[in-house]
Amino acid sequence: MKRLTLFALILLSPVVAADVPATTPSDAGENDAEKNHAEHSGHNTHSDQLLLLLNHKIALQQLQQNYPAEVTQQHANLARQKRHLDQALPVLQSYSAITANHYPNNSLFQQSLINRAALVRDYADLVSTFYRQLLGR
């Protein structure tokens, strides 16, 4: 359990992207995950958080799978990935911290822990890919 907690703390710390350019593409091209995040920022229910996280996850996967070869486009892609991660990771931290008393029984809580661990693992892969692309590997 300590190892998972330490991993979660490392994973959920703010994304440092000193090499990501300060200029970002225009907001006219924002994708749905970014818009939904702004619309739902006042909602803090468990299911809303999950939907936001899944929306950001899909957007990040698409950005990473369609990583461009041209350097200027790479900078724009990385800036968009960083925005998604900056929005998603605090929500993931909150979503992962739901306690047992939120669930009616231990079985549902156990299943939720398994599902939340899988989501944290997915985000760990996304952060890892982000850093590999950031470093040009």
Instruction: Sketch the domain layout of the chain as residue ranges.
Output: 44-137
DSSP state, residue 69: S
| Joined tokens for residue 45 | 């229910």
User: Tell me, what's the pLDDT at 43?
Assistant: 42
User: Tell me, what's the pLDDT at 10?
Assistant: 43
User: Tell me, what's the pLDDT at 6?
Assistant: 39
User: Tell me, what's the pLDDT at 44?
Assistant: 60
User: Tell me, what's the pLDDT at 45?
Assistant: 86
d(CA 83, CA 14): 11
d(CA 11, CA 1): 15
Question: What's the pTM?
Answer: 0.69
- Match 């350019």 to its residue by tokens: 21
> How far separated are the first and last CA of the chain, in Å rounded?
32
Q: What pLDDT tens digit does each residue of the chain (137 aa) get?
A: 444 443 444 444 544 444 444 444 444 344 565 555 555 444 468 899 999 999 999 999 999 999 999 999 999 999 999 999 999 999 999 999 999 998 999 999 999 999 999 999 999 999 999 999 999 96
Which alpha helices (DSSP H) does 17-102 contain, by range? 32-39, 46-65, 71-96
Which amino acid makes up residue 137? R
Is the distance from CB of 29 to CB of 77 less than 8 angstroms?
no
CA distances from 106 to 92, 93, 102, 115 (A): 22, 21, 10, 14
d(CA 95, CA 46): 7
Nearest 5°: phi and psi at 76? -65, -40
